[in-house]
């Protein structure tokens, strides 16, 4: 089943056009292909408008640094709000994918709508620079291991402008669709895609009612990471996990590793390299009995915890439960609490930058959804068995680290430091 999910994720755009056949790409949108990467421009715009195809060192480092800071700050704020909102279930989103989606709205916005998005997202750059820099960051990530499945959905009688598709959605690898909201099949097809994406765990994303002129944003991604040092399945044993609703019987993966480790008065953290060091999974465990202190410290210290240079090599005796994180949630209410006030959702909305010139109609943002699913096992994230476990050899005393209570997870791209995925794990896979 994991293979099935991964195949869908990598072909997300294709499925929206074929398996979800009631969705019709808007005029001028890129033709769906077997991979989200194929819908992207052949050349990647450089930050600040530099010529594409140049080596990374030729790109404006200031713009790249600013983009990383902006996406991280917003993502940490969003994560904190998600943690507050979802006190029992697991949460998951991709900071890179979600920021790319919001950058598209920012690029389309004018007037008060643009200013509202600028404040909400903390943008310090103009829309064109924001789009080009995020495009660059997306282009640096291994598309075979991380792929975007973002899409924008408009009512059928409102078209996307060709310039918006060419300059914004195509570089950001966002599919655009014009759909008939009066047709029940539209909602059935979108929900069917979400259900397939999450292996049946999320069956409803859109309800069957919508206003005549509305906009939906769907953020989705795929991620595959094989541990460089996997757990030995023979060392996995039964154990208990203390979820918010009570003890859960689970399978605890155990191993000895020499890997990145950090701690302070609020948390302990371990970093597990994946895909030959191209990615890393960071797992952050609040101190026992210190969940409240961790939450209070999160806004100040989270960026330090997740920084690439934070962990140092150490011998760790690690116990980690197998877990699955799913997301099929509306983020509109949470974003509203963060500052998405009324402009984007009102008839006074100005997203004229995405609409065909002859069809510039009030198109309020109806909802924003995040859909994702990943499973962590002995081999990695959505990964089949690969490398053989290697016993760690170290002269130093091992740190005992057992993830037997809720924790934070994050996946980073080690080349850029960009956050690819972030989630909060409140419950784990129960033993059968």
User: How is 399-431 classified by DSSP, letter by letter?
Assistant: EEEE--S-EEEEEEETTT--EEEEEEES--PBP
Give the pLDDT mean for 354-371.
74
Kindly report, residue by residue over 213-269, the tens digit of the pLDDT. Answer: 678 888 888 888 999 999 999 999 999 999 999 999 999 999 999 999 999 999 999
Kindly report, residue by residue over 86-137, the tens digit of the pLDDT. Answer: 888 889 999 999 999 999 999 999 888 899 899 889 888 889 989 998 998 9
User: Which domains, and CATH codes, for the chain?
Assistant: 2-225+325-374 (3.30.497.10), 227-321+387-425 (2.30.39.10)
d(CA 123, CA 103): 9
Q: What pLDDT, on the 0 to 100 scale, is given for residue 221?
A: 85
Q: What pLDDT, on the 0 to 100 scale, is given for residue 286?
A: 96
**Lowest-pLDDT range of 18-32, 62-76, 84-98, 274-288:** 18-32
Give the pLDDT mean for 5-19.
35
85 pLDDT above the threshold of 80? yes
What is the separation of C-alpha 430 from the centre of its chain, rounded to a whole number of angstroms?
A: 25
300 pLDDT above the threshold of 70? yes
d(CA 299, CA 306): 12
d(CA 291, CA 426): 12
In terms of DSSP bridges, do strands 312-321 and 399-402 run parallel, antiparallel, or are they unpaired? parallel
314 pLDDT above the threshold of 50? yes
Give the pLDDT mean for 324-346.
78
pTM above 0.75, yes or no: yes
Q: How would you label 27-56 residue by residue, b for 16+ Cβ within 10 Å and e otherwise?
A: eebbebeebbbbbbbeebbbbbeeebeeee
Residue 100: name the closest of 409, 327, 370 by CA: 370
Find the distance separating the first CA and the last CA of the chain, reported in whole Å.
18
Kindly report, residue by residue over 375-427, the tens digit of the pLDDT. Answer: 999 999 987 765 555 555 655 788 999 999 999 999 999 888 889 999 999 99
* CB distance 130 to 106 below 8 Å: yes
Average pLDDT over the chain reads 78
């Amino acid at each position: 089943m994991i293979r099935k999910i991964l195949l869908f994720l990598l072909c997300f755009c294709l499925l929206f056009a074929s398996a979800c056949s009631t969705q019709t790409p808007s005029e001028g949108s890129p033709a769906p292909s077997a991979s989200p990467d194929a819908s992207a421009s052949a050349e990647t715009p450089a930050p600040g408008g530099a010529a594409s195809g140049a080596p990374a060192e030729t790109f404006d480092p200031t713009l790249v640094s600013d983009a990383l800071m902006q996406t991280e700050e917003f993502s940490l704020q969003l994560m904190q709000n998600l943690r507050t909102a979802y006190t029992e279930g697991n949460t998951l989103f991709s900071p890179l994918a979600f920021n790319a989606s919001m950058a598209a709205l920012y690029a389309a916005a004018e007037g008060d709508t643009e200013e509202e998005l600028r404040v909400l997202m903390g943008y310090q750059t103009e829309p064109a620079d924001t789009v080009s820099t995020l495009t660059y960051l997306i282009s640096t990530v291994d598309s075979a291991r991380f792929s975007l499945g973002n899409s924008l959905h408009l009512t059928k009688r409102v078209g996307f402008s060709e310039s918006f598709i060419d300059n914004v959605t195509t570089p950001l690898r966002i599919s655009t669709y014009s759909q008939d909201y009066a047709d029940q099949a539209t909602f059935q097809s979108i929900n069917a895609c979400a259900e397939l994406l999450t292996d049946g765990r999320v069956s409803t994303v859109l309800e069957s009612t919508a206003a005549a002129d509305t906009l939906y944003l769907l953020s989705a991604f795929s991620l595959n990471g094989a541990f460089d040092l996997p757990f030995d399945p023979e060392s996995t044993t039964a154990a208990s996990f203390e979820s918010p609703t009570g003890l859960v019987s689970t399978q605890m993966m155990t191993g000895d590793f020499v890997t990145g480790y950090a701690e302070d008065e609020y948390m302990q953290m371990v970093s597990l390299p994946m895909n030959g060091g191209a990615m890393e999974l960071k797992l952050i465990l609040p101190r026992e009995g210190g969940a409240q202190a961790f939450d209070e410290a999160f806004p100040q210290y989270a960026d330090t915890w997740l920084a690439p240079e934070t962990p140092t090599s150490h011998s760790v005796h690690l116990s980690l439960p197998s877990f699955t994180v799913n997301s099929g949630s509306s983020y509109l209410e949470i974003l509203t609490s963060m500052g998405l006030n009324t402009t984007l959702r009102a008839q006074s909305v100005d997203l004229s930058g995405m609409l065909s010139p002859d069809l510039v109609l009030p198109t309020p943002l109806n909802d924003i959804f995040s859909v994702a699913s990943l499973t962590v096992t002995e081999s990695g994230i959505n990964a089949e068995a690969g490398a053989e476990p290697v016993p760690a050899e170290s002269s130093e005393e091992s740190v005992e680290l057992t993830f037997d209570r809720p924790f934070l997870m994050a996946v980073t791209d080690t080349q850029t430091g960009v956050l690819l995925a972030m989630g909060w794990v409140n419950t784990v896979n129960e033993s059968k």
